[in-house]
Amino acid sequence: MALLNLHLKVWRQNAGQPGHFQDIDAPEIPDHASFLEMMDIVNERLIAKGEEPVAFDHDCREGICGMCSMTINGMPHGPEKATTTCQLHMRKFRTGDTIWIEPFRARAFPVIKDLVTDRSAFDRIQQAGGFVTVRTGSAAEANNILVGKEVADAAMDAAACIGCGACVAACKNASAMLYVAAKAGQLNTLPQGQPEKTRRTLGMVRQMDHEGFGGCTNQYECEAACPKEISVRWITKLNRDFAAATLKDAFGNGQERGEGGD
């Protein structure tokens, strides 16, 4: 196992105050360590010196909870394709490297402390329609709803979103279109999601705008940064669903009509 000598430039900030980059030397980092384990080592050393450790969000450390974030060398979740920060390993860096570490930056994700941001806007978008209204106990026998394998697989592609916000951090407009498109797209694709499709699409898009995310100008940085490789084709679908929903809302008194899945 090799040891790396690194130099970090880490964003330090307290909520509501201006932030700054702090220079931290990180010598002798095992190359088998994950990026967050490197941060653990750095924090242990800061604590030993009587300094305050760097606050960062993390939890499952296996790439699924979506809690970890960090923009590393300008890229959300760092340079490795389809990889969250917690799954990024130090063998991807070289000794002597300088690593810039920043929070996910977006107006809709205010900084709480250092690298920790408030991403609760995503929850509020979900509350604005990201569900199927079905009471516990009122479901029909599962195999009464047939879903072709291709449709189920497509829905699963969208459903793989971990809600981390890398798409927003990667976008120059801080747009949340990929996130909203994936979340709405999963349900808008499945038969279970058809009855509320119009309400859902309008609700989620309007909430997204309300939260202060920027508009989508088709840069596709989001897709490149997404650790789950969610395709921008979902954005196309969301635009289509939104157009249809807007027309229905304008001419159909907002009432849902029967429509097939697409």
Instruction: State which of positions 17-56 bind another protein (CB under 8 A).
Output: 30, 32-34, 36-37, 40-41, 44, 47-48, 50-53, 55
Exposed/middle/buried for 246, CB within 10 Å: 0-12, 13-18, 19+?
middle
* Candidate list 5, 127, 217, 236; residue touching another protein; CB under 8 A: 127
Check binding of 156 to another protein (CB under 8 A): yes
H or E element in which residue 22 lies: strand 20-30
Nearer to another protein, 210 or 217 (CB): 210
Question: Exactly one of 7, 9, 12, 91 binds another protein (CB under 8 A); which one?
Answer: 91
Q: Within positions 210 to 249, which residues make up the interface with another protein, using CB under 8 A?
A: none
β-bridge pairing 71-72 and 116-117: unpaired
By CB under 8 A, the residues from 60 to 79 that bind another protein are 60-67
The correct pick among 137, 172, 250, 251 for binding another protein (CB under 8 A) is 137
Out of 112, 212, 220, 249, point to the residue binding another protein (CB under 8 A).
112
Three-state secondary structure call for residue 61: coil
Q: Within 92-111, which residues bind another protein (CB under 8 A)?
A: none
Q: Binding residue for another protein (CB under 8 A) from 15, 21, 236, 252?
A: 15
Per-residue x/- mask for another protein, residues 160 to 199, rule CB under 8 A? x-xx----------------------xx--x-xx------
Burial zone of 17 (CB within 10 Å; 0-12 exposed, 13-18 middle, 19+ buried): exposed
| Residue 133 engages another protein in binding (rule: CB under 8 A) | yes
Residue 16 found at the interface with another protein (CB under 8 A) = no
CA-CA distance, 188 to 142, in Å (whole number)?
19
Q: Shortest gap between Cβ of 124 and another protein (angstroms)?
A: 9
CB-based contacts of 108-111 (< 8 A; 24+ apart in sequence): 108/168, 108/174, 108/176, 108/211, 108/212, 108/213, 109/165, 109/168, 109/169, 109/174, 110/15, 111/13, 111/15, 111/19
Q: Which amino acid is at 17?
A: Q
